[in-house]
Structure 1
Amino acid sequence: MKKFVNIYLFLLVVFIIVGISGFSFSKNENPEQVVEELALENTPGYATMRTIEEMTKDQQLENAILDIQVTPKPDGETVMLEMQSSEFMSLDTLLKDSYNMLVKIADESQIAEFTFIWQQPVKNKNQIALSMTFDRAGLDQLSTVTHNNLASIAKNYEQH
């Protein structure tokens, strides 16, 4: 009986060691993948893109992102965020969601210009419902207006 217990314990220890070593080896990333990730992190505009993505997650809008474009320029970054709304979202709801995002975006000093484009499905095809562009001056004035008055500080405001 003692021999059986010793064999059982030996096998148990072997399985634990194999499991731990297999788990630790699976964590090691492919060196090429690590290099690609480092290259991305050093790409101009990548940090801003990730920040915008995190902001949409904070607003529970992460499934609504269609496109994020960040263009680095000498005076700051130009950002274009294209979002998908449901066909039932009103203009007021789009403005509220935009305003909540813009409040956070205004805190990002590296953004010189920000464009918001909202698309809605119409007859199974996406169409632009609202587009707004804000320069740095408009973003700095954001705290002085409500969501209903975004057009007054926007560089470009088009309701389609």
Structure 2
Amino acid sequence: MSIMKKFVNFYLLIVVLFIIVGLSGFSSSKKENPEQAVEEIALENTPGYATMRAIEAMTKEQQLENAILDIQVIPKPNEEIVIVEMQSSEFMSLDTLLKDSYNMLIKISDVPQITEFTFIWQQPVNNKNHVALSMTFDRAGLDKIPTVAYSDLASIAKDFKQ
């Protein structure tokens, strides 16, 4: 009987070792790919990338039915120029576009490295997108945003086209 008991103990030991090796292999396979980590670090160190992610987060907070079509960040020494294209619904009025823009611009104006910001609103007409509103603000205009009403955005914009 003692030989049988030794065999069972030996067998259990081998099963436990297989389980431990299997679990450790499974958990190590979930770790990040080193190449992917290098890519992410490279992206985060790319000029303008942090601003692009911040702008994306700020605009997503305000969106209900609007979608981001494009975010461009043009990095320059000690400054960044940002262009954001948004998709509106075909039924949005100028007043609604200005309100939505203003709510996003309040947060965007707090980012000091942005020296110029352009909003371009696209609106579908006959299944094609057309620019419904375009506004460009320089740093002086961005600094004034918290002091004006949304209806006065045109007065502080460097460029305003509807």
TM-score (ref. length: structure 2): 0.83
Aligned to 2:32: 28
Task: Flag the 1:68–1:138 CA change in 2: closer, same or farther, 3 A.
Answer: same
Question: Mapping of 1:2-151 within 5 angstroms?
Answer: 18-19=22-23, 21-29=25-33, 31-60=34-63, 64-151=67-154
- Post-superposition Cα deviations, 1:33-55, rounded to whole Å, max 9, x if no partner, equal 22111111111101000000111
Structure 2 residues not aligned, in runs of 5+: none
Q: Structure 2 counterpart of 1:133, which letter? A: T
- Post-superposition Cα deviations, 1:90-127, rounded to whole Å, max 9, x if no partner, equal 11111111001100000000000000000011000000
Contact 1:68/1:82 (8 A) holds in 2: yes
What is the distance in 2 between the residues matched to 1:151 and 1:13? 72
What is the distance in 1 between the residues matched to 2:76 and 2:118? 15
The CA RMSD over aligned residues, in Å, is: 2.5
What is the distance in 2 between the residues matched to 1:64 and 1:73? 27
Aligned to 1:156: 159
Over 6 Å off, 4+ runs: 10-13
Q: Structure 2 counterpart of 1:122, which letter? A: V
What is the distance in 1 between the residues matched to 2:127 and 2:20? 54
Displacement of 1:74 after TM fit?
A: 2.8
What is the distance in 2 between the residues matched to 1:46 and 1:17? 41
What is the distance in 1 between the residues matched to 2:93 and 2:65? 19
Task: Flag the 1:48–1:106 CA change in 2: closer, same or farther, 3 A.
Answer: same
What is the distance in 1 between the residues matched to 2:59 and 2:142? 17
Task: Flag the 1:129–1:26 CA change in 2: closer, same or farther, 3 A.
Answer: same
